[in-house]
Every structure is written in structure tokens, then in C-alpha cells.
Structure 1
Amino acid sequence: MNPVAAFAAAAMLFGSPDPATRFVPRTVRAGETAVLVFTRTTGFRHESIPDAIAAVRRLGTENGFPVDATEDPSAFTDVHLAPYRAVLFLLTTGDVLGEDEQAAFERWIRSGGGWVGVHSATDTEYEWPFYGELAGAYFAGHPEIQPAAVHVEDRAHPATSAVPENWPRTDEWYNFRANPRERVHVLATVDETTYSGGSMGADHPIAWCQEFAGGRAFYTAGGHTRESWAEPLFLAHVAGGIRWAAGIESGFCGEIQRSVPRRVAPRSAPRLVTPRN
């Protein structure tokens, strides 16, 4: 192997950022609500990442927040993070930040920053306790992609105000190592009776938020598929979460419900079944 090819292979192996996604520092501008999208992966890499970045950029244009996207962990310094009101861990996996970068991110959260996690953001940084508490839960596994029924518990929060209380959609439904309900404000759950492969029972949160360590955190388990990033209701869900985390729109996330709110499914709602060949 020639030296250039060897260097390129090593960069891919050890996760060096591609020049196209290298971080370019943003200048602080008064009154600007900028969002940093971080998509580094050191584990599984979702093919939907380009679709997701493009969709979030469009949401930024439509909702008034400039968006920068990078896979470069050098973005995580005190100076580089200062211009941003929210950082979005978008389909990240594995160990994506070093110790100094983690420390800078913790300081940024404690100073009032907002974190948004999408899908495999909970399959990220298993050995970083602060991140685990911020995210609310860690990924355990998932069944195949299939339709299911989502139930919205909080219709007032910006992340769920634009979606129906009973929301059928197709995605890869994550199971988590522990139920986060005791620690976070649950926004939505998925009904395990409407799909196969759920392992959390009658209470299966898939979107939540919390005020944490001086900052804010919003997580949604959706977003695995490319189709998700062209789905108007899912995009409204993500946009609302970003707007809340960035402090653009207010929403209450302080109440922790210790039990699942009682609900009655619509009589006409059918069980959603994935055809099997």
C-alpha cells in the first residue's frame, strides 16, 4: 500500500474527521441562536446521516437557527462551543469525545447549553457517566424496522405539540437498558402491543426531556430510517425539541411522572403488523 493510501486507511480506522466535515469555528454574534450538529461515529454508521443533516439544516432555515455540522471532536472546546445554544448528537455511536472534549462539553452544559439526542445518541459514550445521565438511558437492542403506535403523554411541550396523541409511524424501535421514567420527563411512549420485539413492557418511553446540571436535554429514539427525515410530523417533533433545547421556545420538563398515565386506545385503532415473507 502506498503512503497516501495507508494514511487514508488509518484515518478511517481511527475516526479522523473527513475534510468535508472538519470543524470551522463560528464567530459569536449577539442574539444569534446557532445549533451545532455532531455526527461522529466509531461504531455502527447510519446511512440516513446525510438525509438527517440536510433535514436539520432545512429546519434551521425554517425556524430561525443557523446550523453547523461536523464530525470533528475538536469542536468541543470552551471557545468553539461558546456561540452555540444547542448541540445535536445526530445518529452518533461509540466513543466520540476525548477526556478534554468531554470536560469542555460538561462546562458548556452547566453554563446553560442545550443537548439534543437523536436515535443512536443513546448508543454513544457508555463509559462517560455525565453523558449517560444527560441522555437519560442507554441503548440495549432493537427489533426489525416496523410500524408501531406512539402515544404522546405531553401535548404542551414544543417537541410533541404538533403531533397527534396517537401517532402511528414506522421506525427502528429501541429498547433501553433501564426505563428512564424515574429520572426524566417522558413526552411519548411506544405501544409494544402494536409491534413485535419490544422488551420494556407497558411503559416504553421513546422521547423525553429534562432540566439537567444547569442545562437542558431532549431525546427522541426515532430517526433511524432515511424516510424519517422526509416525514413532516417527525421533523416537527425534532424541530420542537431543538427549539426547546436552544431556549427559543419554552416548555416544562421539570415534572417526573412515576407511573404511566392511564389511556384508552381508540376502538378503531388496529394492531399494526409487519408482513413477513
Structure 2
Amino acid sequence: MKALKIVLWSVLAIIVLAVGGMALFAYKVTHGFPVSYETEVPVISFPAGQPAVLLFSKTTGFRHGESIEAGKVAFSAMAKKNNWFLYSTEDGGVFNTAQLAKFDVVIFNNCTGRLLNDEQQEALEVYVKQGGNWLGIHGAGDNSHQWAWYAQNLVGAGFSHHPIEKHLQEAAVTLNPLPDSALIQGLPKTWPQTDEWYVFFDNPRTHGAHVIWSIDSEKINPSGNILFVKDKNFGMGKDHPVAWYRTVDKGLAFYTSIGHDASAWKQAPFISLLENEVKRAVKK
């Protein structure tokens, strides 16, 4: 009998520790992990006559490591092809008013967590408002950044969850008509993609976004329920945007929730859209 009690108490202790650990992890995802901010301004030589692209890949939350590295390779190839100057870094020191003004577009390559200090955040906000361009990929749109202006203006939709019961799922990605045809040049009307489909509380269309790609989330399992979380079983319905752009004062913000893993970077439509978006930014 005594041995049984010991076993039962041990099992209970393990359950409590597991639940506590998961609760702590969930809290950290939402409220941030310990962060250090890089404040030293880097030395950058901007070549004359070349559009400048900043590829930022810092993470302090979940790190999509394989996708981040694949993204670096893809953007490097695009830069070589299009004669762009690509500055790739995970150092937040570049987020200062003087240097940001020299970039045509800032790309958040699966960036998660709190990334910049208050002064650096303000520099990015001013940059976009004054006519700069921002492009966010997948993790750049989750709820880990602890920056209300960023979520409301750059992403343009409130992140809820991603599917758990079926983590990665195939869906038909459908092209939407746009007033800016250059962004969809060369893109197929529909194509299959397996990804981790982010679910947002609100449709970015309601905030003035122009949707480039969408899926029908009635044809996937959008449930993010796990253990005691039972309120994440909803999707976005037939109109589930997965790539869009919107104006932010004088600037533009592009975002796509595609890109959870490296396989996305092997998809020609995905690469073409990102290339089109950067081209649109450097010609603005």
C-alpha cells in the first residue's frame, strides 16, 4: 500500500511539473524570453547605384532555424540576380535612423520574440512611416514580439494560434486579383503548399490590407487545442489570407505566413512572390 502511494504521488508530481513547465513555456512565448539588445552601430559600406536590402534574422523566441538559413540562401541568390546590395545580420544595432534610411526594404526573416529596444523600435517605425518598406515572413507574424504598433501596422492582423493536432498540412494556395499587378507577375492561379498555417483573430482585409494569397481553412484542421487549451479550435473560414500587403502612412508592409520550414524555399511561387515584393519596394 505504501509503495502504491509513493508511485501515485510520484506520478502526480511528474504531471504537475510537466504542466507547470508547459505553462511557463507558453508564458515565455507570449511575454518574451530574456533578451539582450545590440546597440553598437555597425560599419556598412553601401555600394553606389545598388538598391539596399536589409535581411534581419534575429530570434529571441522560437527559432525556425532551417527556414531562416534557407531564406538567407534564397535572398542571396535574388540579390545576385537583381544586383541588390544585401546586408544580412542578426544584430539589432543597424536599427538606427541614419542607416535604416539607406535601405529600400527591411526583411524580417522568421524573426520571433522581442528583438529591438525602444529606441530601435522607434527608428523602424519612423522608417516605415516616412516611406520605407517592411517584409515579414512566417514567424515575424506571431504574437511574440511584444510591440503593439508592430502587430497592428506591419502585420496588420492579430495572431491567435497555429494547428497542433495536424501541425503541417497541405492546402491549395489561391491567387487574389490585385490593383498592383507587378506583385503577382509570374505567379500561378493556384498551387499546393504544405505549411504551418497561422490562424489570426481578424482578417487583414478588414484593416485595409490587399490579399495576395489565401487558402480555404474549412479544408484543413485549424485546431490549436492542446492539453488544457480548448478555445483554439477555430479557423478563418473560406477566406483565410496567407500573404498580403498594406500601406502604413507613406510606407508599405508586406507579410506572408508561409515559410515554417526549409521546404517552402524550394517552392517557385513562394520565391517569386518574395522577389516581386522586393522589386516593388526598391522601385517605390
Band of TM-score, shorter chain: 0.7 to 0.9
In structure 1, the partner of 2:136 is 117
* Pick aligned residue for 1:44 from 45, 52, 62: 62
In structure 1, the partner of 2:215 is 190
Residues in 1 aligned to 2:250 and 2:101: alpha-carbon distance in whole angstroms? 15
In structure 2, the partner of 1:129 is 149
Q: TM-score, normalised by structure 2?
A: 0.75
Unaligned residue ranges in structure 1 (runs of 5+): 1-11, 249-277
Which structure has more helix as a fraction of its residues? 2
Structure 2 residue 133 is matched with structure 1 residue 108: no
Structure 2 residue 116 is matched with structure 1 residue 97: yes
Residues in 2 aligned to 1:112 and 1:64: alpha-carbon distance in whole angstroms? 22
In structure 1, the partner of 2:35 is 14
**1:131 CA drift (Å):** 4.7
Q: Give me the CA root mean square deviation.
A: 2.2
Change in Cα spacing, 1:25 to 1:110, as seen in structure 2 (3 Å) is farther
Match of 1:237, SS state, is helix
Residues in 1 aligned to 2:236 and 2:262: alpha-carbon distance in whole angstroms? 26
* Pick aligned residue for 2:201 from 174, 177, 186: 177
Residues in 2 aligned to 1:103 and 1:26: alpha-carbon distance in whole angstroms? 21
* Pick aligned residue for 1:152 from 175, 185, 196: 175
Among all aligned residue pairs of Structure 1 and Structure 2, give the percentage whose two residues are the same amino acid: 34
In structure 2, the partner of 1:32 is 50
**1:206 CA drift (Å):** 0.9
**1:117 CA drift (Å):** 0.7
**1:122 CA drift (Å):** 0.9
**What letter is aligned with 1:14?**
V
**1:13 CA drift (Å):** 5.6
In structure 2, the partner of 1:142 is 162
**1:83 CA drift (Å):** 1.8
In structure 1, the partner of 2:30 is none
**1:28 CA drift (Å):** 4.2
**1:247 CA drift (Å):** 2.6
Kept in 2: contact 1:149–1:194 (CA 8 A)? no
Residues in 2 aligned to 1:159 and 1:186: alpha-carbon distance in whole angstroms? 11
Structure 2 residue 255 is matched with structure 1 residue 219: yes
In structure 2, the partner of 1:3 is none
Residues in 2 aligned to 1:126 and 1:178: alpha-carbon distance in whole angstroms? 18
Indicate the structure (1 or 2) with the bigger Cα radius of gyration. Answer: 2
Q: TM-score, normalised by structure 1?
A: 0.77
Residues in 2 aligned to 1:109 and 1:120: alpha-carbon distance in whole angstroms? 20
Kept in 1: contact 2:35–2:115 (CA 8 A)? no
**What letter is aligned with 1:41?**
T
Kept in 2: contact 1:209–1:219 (CA 8 A)? yes
Unaligned residue ranges in structure 2 (runs of 5+): 1-32, 223-233
Kept in 2: contact 1:117–1:219 (CA 8 A)? yes
Residues in 1 aligned to 2:47 and 2:151: alpha-carbon distance in whole angstroms? 28
Equivalences, count: 233
* Pick aligned residue for 2:94 from 65, 75, 85: 75
**What letter is aligned with 1:33?**
P
